[in-house]
Amino acid sequence: MISTIKGIARETLNFIIECSKSTYPNEFAGLLRAKDDIITEVILVPGTENSAHSAIIRMHMLPNMQTAGSVHSHPSANKSPSNADLNMFSRTGNVHIIVGHPYNEKSWVCYDAKGSQKVIDVVDCDLANDDLDDFFL
């Protein structure tokens, strides 16, 4: 697991925001991948179930790859993790993002694996030349 995440690519954050908007009023969920301490990718795991009350990621459907954490949306403005969220945090990495309604660059919060808020920067970087071979175990 990657534990030194310092930021998220603006393009990746925009993708998360748009996914959250498009699944509303249901929750959106995915896993995060990072390169050079920056979150650059969202993995949409096959079989993920979305409803207005939860999003369930089928972890057995995830290919053998390293993840930095998770991301999901809440259909309300509440961005606090639930007990179910904290359980998922403890199993999927060290950085977790919850996006709340109205789904914009100001309506997200990052947490560590224990549910404490964590500050990460939004950074502009070129994702077009990312070499994904490093991510597979």
Report the catalytic residues: 27
Integer angstrom CA distances of residue 18 from 11, 57, 70, 73, 102:
11, 19, 16, 11, 11
How distant is the alpha carbon of residue 94 from its chain centre? 11
Close Cβ partners of 49 (under 8 Å, ≥ 6 residues apart): 55, 56, 58
